[in-house]
Chains A and B, each alone.
Chain A
Amino acid sequence: AQSVTQPDIHITVSEGASLELRCNYSYGATPYLFWYVQSPGQGLQLLLKYFSGDTLVQGIKGFEAEFKRSQSSFNLRKPSVHWSDAAEYFCAVGGGGFKTIFGAGTRLFVKA
């Protein structure tokens, strides 16, 4: 069965520091992987997605993620965090048939 684990419920980083949000997935075939961001009172916005090809994926707002099949991971990174990045981040895995499973999310706090 598909599943997504985001081990960190919340993370606090200082503005300007680097960020890595962890995501581990379970899926029997080649997964489609996504990262979404949700600001308070807003819907989810797609940051980036991986379907195939280069395992390092670039997204919007300066985010990137790396697919590591051997570790079943798809961690999200950003070299320098801005205060506006404070939000909830969701990793998701999908496959054929459009069924997308979301993780429980990681809430990012940014210190000034």
Chain B
Amino acid sequence: EAGVVQSPRYKIIEKKQPVAFWCNPISGHNTLYWYLQNLGQGPELLIRYENEEAVDDSQLPKDRFSAERLKGVDSTLKIQPAELGDSAVYLCASSSGTSGGTPDTQYFGPGTRLTVL
């Protein structure tokens, strides 16, 4: 079974440029997460989707970040314009949903390492 796929793996851009990250979750997983991981820190949730609906985007900086999951499968996270402080690893994860009210295991992709110069 293929895992969570993310591309690109690495991206270097200059500040004020736009950038987009793509994620394809495990087949059949309805829940998709985007996390931000700063150097030396744990992942922080940016947005969570249930199918195509963003059910938790409270931590997404909406002035410059946007995300979409149009058909409830793959997803794109965009930053426009990028700032120096956006340099980090962007992780995507997916899960199959709840099991009797308890959270299901999240499966993580390898991440996209963004460097903003």
Q: Spell out A's residues near B (CB within 8 Å).
A: 4, 9, 32, 36, 41-46, 49, 51, 90, 92, 94, 96-100, 102-105
Known contacts A32-B102, A51-B102; A43/B108 CB under 8 A: yes
- Tally the A-B contacts, defined by beta carbons under 8 Å: 53
Which residues of A sit under 8 angstroms from B48, Cβ to Cβ?
98
CB pair B110–A42 under 8 Å, yes or no, is yes
Question: Which of B14-22, B38-46, B63-71, B73-81 lies at the interface with chain A?
Answer: B38-46
CB distance from A71 to the nearest CB of B (A): 21
Within 8 Å of chain A (Cβ to Cβ): is B114? no
- Tell me how far the C-beta of A45 lies from the nearest C-beta in chain B, rounded to whole angstroms: 7
Q: Using an 8 Å CB-CB cutoff, how does the interface string of B68-106 with A read, 1 for contact, 0 for none?
A: 000000000000000000000001010000100111011
CB-nearest residue of chain B to A39: B110
CB distance from B15 to the nearest CB of A (A): 25
Answer whether A43 and B103 are a contact pair too, CB < 8 Å, given A99-B45, A105-B41. Answer: no
Q: Which chain A residues border B105 with CB–CB below 8 Å? A: 46, 49
Whether B31 sits at the interface, judged by CB under 8 Å, is yes
Q: How far is the CA of A105 from the CA of B43 in the complex (A)?
A: 10
Do B103 and A100 touch across chains, with their CB atoms under 8 A apart?
Answer: yes
The answer on a CB contact under 8 Å between B42 and A105 is yes
Task: Find the residue from A96, A97, A98, A103 having the highest chain B CB count within 10 A.
Answer: A98
What's the Cα separation between A79 and B54 when bound, in Å? 42
CB-contact partner of A44 in B44, B45, B91, under 8 A: B91
Q: Shortest beta-carbon distance, A34 to chain B, in Å? A: 8
B91 CB contacts on chain A under 8 angstroms = 43-44
Q: Across the interface, do A105 and B40 meet the contact criterion of CB distance under 8 Å?
A: yes
CB proximity to A under 8 Å, residues B23-77: 31, 40-45, 48, 56
